[in-house]
Structure 1
Amino acid sequence: MKTYKGSCHCQTVQFEIQTDFPELTTCDCSICLRKNALMVKVHESKLKILSGEESLTTYTFHTHTAKHYFCSICGIYPFHRKRVTPDHYGVNVYCLEGFDPTGIPVRATDGKGMA
């Protein structure tokens, strides 16, 4: 398992994850469509916030189970705590340093159907 460093745009929120990238996911729920994020799912033990945790703003809606985190300074979404598996995070792979998603399978999640 490899360690990847990531951050928001202004570099205030910095984190690292450990993953082998078995797959990436997209989601068609109302918020993910608007974020247009490409995500990797990691267990909470595999995500470590290195700095800027105090600058994270949390947004919840509908069941208030999923917690979507945004940098309060630059507005970037680095990750969210998942609704169906709340011990996992969906991490925005475009926040990872030097990461190239080419060749990794992408699975579309039916978030719209999770009413």
Structure 2
Amino acid sequence: MKTCLIVDDSKVIRKVARHILETLDFTVAEAADGREALEQCRLSTPDVVLLDWNMPVMSGMEFLRALGTETLSHRPKVVFCTTENGMAHIRAAIEAGADEYVMKPFDRETLHSKLQIVGVA
């Protein structure tokens, strides 16, 4: 079974994403910020990270840059999940190492298609 780490400071978004991912047969873990997510990745690297952009403690971009410096068993796919929709934000995310980008609010079909694009669904 594939694993996904949902990283978002919104409990509601984590709950919605968890429900969608579980219907797609993912085992789901959650983190409320980038620092917590990095610690979880060190313990057990997920197949994919669903990553929010704006979070306290450590933002999505800070997490993505830190993830790139980690020595993990494998590099998880990273799907940015955010309300930031400007081309500059999308370009910055991809350049920093994101594999795909999904806009909030998202639905099951949209998330499923993004996971298929990155090869984990």
User: Does TM-score exceed 0.5, indicating one fold?
Assistant: no
- Band the TM-score falls in, shorter-chain normalisation: under 0.3
* Structure 2 length-normalised TM: 0.25
Task: Report which of the two has the higher share of strand.
Answer: 1
- Larger RCO, structures 1/2 (Cα 8 Å, 6+ apart): 1
Task: Report which of the two has the higher share of helix.
Answer: 2
